[in-house]
Chains A and B, each alone.
Chain A
Amino acid sequence: LAKTTQPISMDSYEGQEVNITCSHNNIATNDYITWYQQFPSQGPRFIIQGYKTKVTNEVASLFIPADRKSSTLSLPRVSLSDTAVYYCLVGDIASGGSYIPTFGRGTSLIVHP
């Protein structure tokens, strides 16, 4: 099973870089790693995805080591508005044998002034 493990919570301060790591020891060979952001009372929002090495977009960077058993979401210079829950997502095998998206339990990031 490609279950994911993330820290439950993290604290940071405005202007700092935040790194959130997700473990996915049994990730499938052809699976992507995807990260989502969720604010209270809203649905999750796609942030970034990658397969290997490093991916960067206007919001974040994603670092994936060669063995792909973990990934690290990096948020540069966070602000108060980055306070949210962050989820990593990989695939997993459902009881019926199909391959389904599986969210981790999420990391609650609180950014302090």
Chain B
Amino acid sequence: NAGVTQTPKFRVLKTGQSMTLLCAQDMNHEYMYWYRQDPGMGLRLIHYSVGEGTTAKGEVPDGYNVSRLKKQNFLLGLESAAPSQTSVYFCASSYTMGLAGLSYEQYFGPGTRLTVT
């Protein structure tokens, strides 16, 4: 099993350009997440999905859109990139989402390093 994969690994954008980050998982997980990680800030949840066709906002959703057309894929889009979106983006998936006392065991991808100039 590949686990969670992310493409691309690196990307440089100019301000105003758009792009889509792709996350794929082969563990048949219902739940998928997009985080961003900035120095000294830990990981902050952007959007998440509790199943195919559903998405929801996390802690820092502004400037991003997501789609979950297939259970195994979760896409993160930047419609008009800004320098403030320079970050490392991590995708994760899990069987459960910590509701009703269930666990938060998430499996993470290797990350995408995005620079917006």
**Interface residues of A, Cβ cutoff 8 Å to B:** 30-32, 34, 41-46, 49, 51, 87, 89, 91-92, 94-96, 98-106
Q: Which of B70-95 contact A (CB under 8 A)?
A: 90, 92
Decide: A100 and B105 in contact? CB cutoff 8 A. Answer: no
Q: Pick the contact of A46 from B44, B106, B111 — CB < 8 Å? A: B106
9 more A-B contacts (CB under 8 A) besides A30-B101, A32-B103, A34-B104? A41-B110, A44-B43, A44-B108, A91-B104, A96-B57, A98-B56, A100-B45, A100-B59, A103-B42
Inside 8 A of B41's CB, which chain A residues have their CB?
105
Number of A-B residue pairs, CB cutoff 8 Å, is: 79
Q: Which residue of B lies closest to A92 (CB)?
A: B59
Cα of A51 to Cα of B43 in the assembled complex, Å: 22
Cα of A64 to Cα of B58 in the assembled complex, Å: 27
Tell me, yes or no, whether B2 is within 8 Å of chain A by CB. no
Decide: A30 and B100 in contact? CB cutoff 8 A. Answer: yes
Inside 8 A of A102's CB, which chain B residues have their CB?
45, 59
Q: Given A104-B42, A105-B42, are A94 and B104 also a contact pair (CB < 8 Å)?
A: no
Inside 8 A of B106's CB, which chain A residues have their CB?
44, 46, 101
Q: Pick the contact of A106 from B42, B97, B101, B103 — CB < 8 Å? A: B42
**Interface residues of B, Cβ cutoff 8 Å to A:** 4, 33, 35, 40-45, 48, 56-59, 90, 92, 97-111
Cα of A101 to Cα of B46 in the assembled complex, Å: 11
Q: Pick the contact of A34 from B33, B48, B90, B103 — CB < 8 Å? A: B103
Decide: A31 and B98 in contact? CB cutoff 8 A. Answer: yes
CB distance from B66 to the nearest CB of A (A): 14
Cα of A99 to Cα of B102 in the assembled complex, Å: 12
Decide: A32 and B99 in contact? CB cutoff 8 A. Answer: no
CB distance from B25 to the nearest CB of A (A): 12
CB distance from B63 to the nearest CB of A (A): 15
Q: Which residue of B lies closest to A87 (CB)?
A: B42
Sampled A-B contacts (22; CB under 8 Å): A32-B98, A34-B104, A41-B110, A42-B110, A43-B92, A43-B108, A43-B110, A45-B108, A46-B106, A49-B103, A49-B104, A94-B57, A99-B98, A101-B45, A101-B98, A101-B104, A101-B106, A102-B59, A103-B42, A103-B44, A104-B42, A105-B42
